[in-house]
Each structure stands twice: as C-alpha cells, then as structure tokens.
Amino acid sequence: MKIKVIALNTFKEAIRDRILYLLFFFAAVALVFSRVLAVLTVGDRVKIIKDVGLASISLFGVLMAIMIGTGLVYKEIDKKTIYTLLSKPIQRWQFLLGKFFGLVLTLFIMTLAMSLIFLVIVLLHTGRLESRMLLAILFIFIELILITAVAILFSCFSTPILSSIFSLSFYLIGHLSWGLETLIQKTRPGTSRIVLRGLSAVLPDLENFNFKTEIVHGLAIDPRFYLYSAVYGLVYTLFILTLAVLIFKKRDFV
Amino acid sequence: MTMVLEVDNLAKAFTPGFIPKKREILKGISFSVAAGEIFGYLGPNGAGKTTTLKCILGLIFPDRGKIEIFGHPHLSMKGREQLGYLPENPYFYDYLTGAEFLDFYARLFGLKKRDKEDKIAGLLRLVGMEKACDLQLRKFSRGMLQRIGLAQALINDPTLLFLDEPLGGLDPLGRKELRDIIVRLKQEGKTIFLCSHILQDIEMICDRVAIIVGGRVISQGSLRDLISEKVLYTEITLSGIDPALLADLGEPVSTHDDRILLKVFQEDNIGNLMALVHEKKGKIHSLIPRTETLEDIFVEMVKQG
C-alpha cells in the first residue's frame, strides 16, 4: 500500500519532468525519420523502418530510465524531502521499491506511446501488423526495468552525473559482453580461461533481451529462449534491487 | 508523569571526507520529554540539535545510546505512527500543489477518502492556507512552506510533534499565529518538542527546556527553575532632568532629545530618583523592572560550555 502511494507520487514527479518530454520528442522524431531513411534505402524498406524504429524505442527508453532514474533517490536526499518521508512509518525498502515501481510505470507509459507511433508507421507502410513486433518491444521493456533498477542502485550512493556514467557503462558492457564468449573459445584452457569464464558469469548479458534482428528478419526463435530471457531479467533485477536496499538501509542522511 | 520520549546516552560521530578522523557531534546526550508538555531544545549553531532530532527520527543511526518513543525502540513502526515532524528548512515536493501534497501524506497513513478530505480541509484552515490548495509548492513563499509543512506534520493526528525551527522565516504576525497554533495543539493534549533559536518564543510557550552545547546537554529543567524572578535592574525613561544629577543614581543608556533612558540597579535609588523628578518637576515616561530572561541564561551557559 505504502509502496503504491510512493510509486504513484514518483510517477507524478517523472511525468512533470521536462526532460521526459524532450526525450519523447526526439524519440518521435527518430521514429518518423526511420520512414524517411527507408525512402533513401535500396532494398527492403520495411526492414529499415522496423530496425530503426525498434532501436529508437530501446535507445530512448534507456536514456529515459537513466536520466530520470539516477536523479530520483539522489534528489530526495539532496533536496531533503526524504527527511519528512522517512520520519513517517515507512521502511526504507518500501521507499526504494516505491521509487522503482513509479519509474517503471512511467517507462511503461512512454514505451507504450513510442510503440504506438512505431506501429502506426509500420501499419501505414505495410498495411498489416505483426504480433511478433510486440514481443520485441516486450523484451525491450524488460531490459528497461533492469536498467531502472541499476540507475536506482547507483543513485543510492552517488551523484546523478556519476550514476549516469555508471549506468550507461552497465548498458554498454551488457551489450558487448557476448564478445567474451568468442574470446573464451580462442583462449587456451588454463587460468586465463577460468578468469574469463568468471568475468562472463558476473557481467550482465543484455543481448538476452535483444530479439530485434530475428524478429525484423522473420527468423525462428526457440520459445525456451524467451522464457530464459524473461527469467534472466527478473532474477538480475531482483539481485540489483536487493543490493540497492542493502546499501540504502545503512545510509545516514546527514 | 508519563514519558513519551526518552533519550539515553546518545552519541554520534561522523567521518568527514576521506581523512579517517572522527568528528564527535553528540557526546552522550540524555533527556526525557513528558506527555503533554512543550519541550524546548536549545543550543547554538552546530551544537547537535538537528543531529539529535535525526537520530530520534531514524534518519541517521547513533553509534551508541538508547532512544525510546512511547516505550518502543525508536525504529519500530509502532512508535513512529504517532509522530509528526516539521524539518528545519521545509523542503518538499515542489511539483505538487498544496492539496496534492497533503493528500500524498494522508494516503501514506492509509486515511479513507472521506476522512482524508475532511482532514485536509481542516488542516488547511488551521494553518490559514485554504487559498493555496491549488498552487504548486514551487510558488510558495518561505512562510507558506512553513505552514503547509506544519499541516503535513499533523496529518496523522500525532501525539508527539517535532518542530525544528518552526518560527524561522516568518513575519511577526505569522510567528504569533504559529505560536498560538502550538499552544492550541498542547491544549489538545499533544506533546511538542521544539528546537528554536528564537528564545523569546521558547520562553513564552515552553514548559521545560534542555540546553545543548558542543554535543552535551548542559542544563535541563522547567523554565521556572531556570529563570529567577529576581529583578536584575529597572529601566526608567525620564525627561526634564539635568543628566549630571543622575550620575549617582544609575547608568545612563541613551539620550534622545530631552529623554534619558537610565538603568537603575539598586532598589533604593528608584525612590531617590522619583523624589528628584518630583522636586525638579521632571517627568517619568516609563519604569520597567527587568528580570532574568532565557536569553541571559543561554548566553551565560554557552559561554561557560
């Protein structure tokens, strides 16, 4: 109940933040631009629209999660609004989860709005809608949930600029970590291979949520892989949130 | 006398920056607040008033010591349900309107819709902010924030209210109104813990005070015990007398036109002065006996501490 109240207030805070609309505006421009780009392309134009469109939703969603998420907790501490809030009978984890769900709700609305523009553009161009497109968007959204948790984790102990850098690094590492697999294959068995294996186990693999290529090109995907990705997202998010709660629980608000 | 708040041997040190040298802010604070009283917590800047308050409210964790609120450990939800808190510089969600702001806190306490509306309307009336309910908090003046902050602290009808510098930033009229509200809350049976620098206000409304200097409580007790009723000196304003004649009777403080303000320390001299004025056909404009004030005691204690 208390989590819901804080989440709704966070939602109110986020949707009254101008940066959200600025990002949304650029996302809309990028989506419309995909149509222009398609005109300039030789080859399958629909694929360009879908590819650029999905990538825009993903990129601007991540920017929204990081830009707003990294400021959420920090602002409460910096502006001292947290004083009145935590003096009420609220546990610190309830506060943190409230913030998290509030931002997830905001991102849900924003992803929905961006997807609508995207789907209308696709519909106008092809005359039909594919349900698999929604599946790609769903996994983009699961990735956004994880990024939100990461942004909130960093926001618990560092400034918005540093948190943004950390969160963006997490995102980039997450999308490049699959390269480690190739490196492991090419390394001779031994200590270095074990170290690389350990590293690949710890580092996030955000490519798990990337079904864009398969879906745009109409390739088949094993349903088990969907399930694996969803569970991976859930477990990783829970892990990050637990870490955030543990750090936040011990903090002195000076 | 039932105690609603007991603080025992509270200590807290901070490590500023990377240098591993601890700075002790609280060095073993102990005091208790009885039900139904207005308790003044005084101290110069940096004495540890707000740190004490933050420890009590669970915003920072003390290194040692015990805090009990209504007999419960201070971090338990049970004790905290009956608390209200107005922070020193009221920082609130400035994107909310006055009514939304109070509605947010009301929902945190799970107030039902009907109760909530009545409660919010009543509180806005109490703090004189009915007109500002649709205005965003970012457009509020300092005094308005203070008022809406007090309304927020009262949303759960708390038994124990913590007010950190509630009269700071208010104009004289606003201060009087807020003082009246605090006294009214006391009459309703609430206990009030008041941190303030404005000693005249504390003196007017507090039952008991604790004075904290350098992280230690150096004095606590009822105001009546602390302040003696003894007349320290008498201030007399008179005119039509040659200042040279007054030299033996008292210490002249200021002269304005013909008017002289005189501090008279010995009671016998008051009679002599009256006789002199009568004889020289002068005029006495005012005669005010000055007793010891909380400020005198405070200044003396801070100097000693």
CA distance A4 to chain B (A): 9
Do B91 and A80 make contact, defined as CB atoms within 8 angstroms? yes
Percent of chain A with pLDDT over 70: 100
For range A76-101, the mean pLDDT: 90
Do B109 and A90 make contact, defined as CB atoms within 8 angstroms? no
pLDDT tens sequence across B180-217: 899 999 999 999 999 887 777 778 888 898 888 888 88
For range A213-233, the mean pLDDT: 85
Domains of chain B, earliest start first: 3-222 (3.40.50.300), 231-304 (3.30.70)
Do B108 and A16 make contact, defined as CB atoms within 8 angstroms? no
For testing contact with chain A, the best of B12, B88, B93 (most A CBs within 10 A): B93
Residue B227 has pLDDT above 80, yes or no: no
Taking a C-beta distance cutoff of 8 angstroms, is the pair A66, A151 a contact?
yes
- Set of chain A residues whose Cβ sits within 8 Å of the Cβ of B110: 1
CA distance B149 to chain A (A): 9
Residue B78's pLDDT is 84
Residue B305 has pLDDT above 70, yes or no: no
Q: How far is CA B197 from CA A181, A188, A214, B88, in A?
A: 65, 72, 68, 11
For testing contact with chain B, the best of A75, A83, A99 (most B CBs within 10 A): A83
For testing contact with chain A, the best of B70, B83, B107 (most A CBs within 10 A): B107
Q: Which two tokens stand for residue A205?
A: 């693999």
Taking a C-beta distance cutoff of 8 angstroms, is the pair B147, B124 a contact?
no
- pLDDT level of residue A207 (50, 70, 90 thresholds): confident
Lowest average pLDDT, out of A138-152, A217-231, B217-231, B241-255, goes to B217-231
Residue A246's pLDDT is 94
Lookup result for tokens 């477990």:
A235
Chain A within 8 Å of B57 (Cβ-Cβ)? Answer: yes
Q: What is the 3-state secondary structure (H, E, C) of chain A?
A: CHHHHHHHHHHHHHHCCHHHHHHHHHHHHHHHHHHHHHHHCCCCHHHHHHHHHHHHHHHHHHHHHHHHHHHHHHHHHHCCHHHHHHCCCCCHHHHHHHHHHHHHHHHHHHHHHHHHHHHHHHHHHHCCCCHHHHHHHHHHHHHHHHHHHHHHHHHCCCCHHHHHHHHHHHHHHHHHCCHHHHHHHHCCCCHHHHHHHHHHHHCCCHHHHCCHHHHHCCCCCCHHHHHHHHHHHHHHHHHHHHHHHHHHHHCCCC
Residue B213's pLDDT is 86
Do B57 and A83 make contact, defined as CB atoms within 8 angstroms? yes
Among B80, B85, B108, select the one facing A2 at the smallest CB separation: B108
CB pairs < 8 Å spanning A and B: 71
Instruction: Enumerate the domain spans of chain A.
Output: 2-169+209-250
Chain A within 8 Å of B261 (Cβ-Cβ)? Answer: no
pLDDT tens sequence across B242-283: 888 888 888 888 888 888 898 888 888 888 888 888 988 889
- pLDDT level of residue B52 (50, 70, 90 thresholds): very high
Residue A242's pLDDT is 95
Do A79 and B107 make contact, defined as CB atoms within 8 angstroms? no
Residue of chain A nearest B59, judged by CA positions:
A253
d(CA A24, CA B111): 36
CA distance A15 to chain B (A): 10
Verdict on whether the full-model pTM lies above 0.80? yes
ipTM value:
0.78
Residue of chain A nearest B136, judged by CA positions:
A16
pLDDT tens sequence across B150-165: 999 999 889 999 998 8
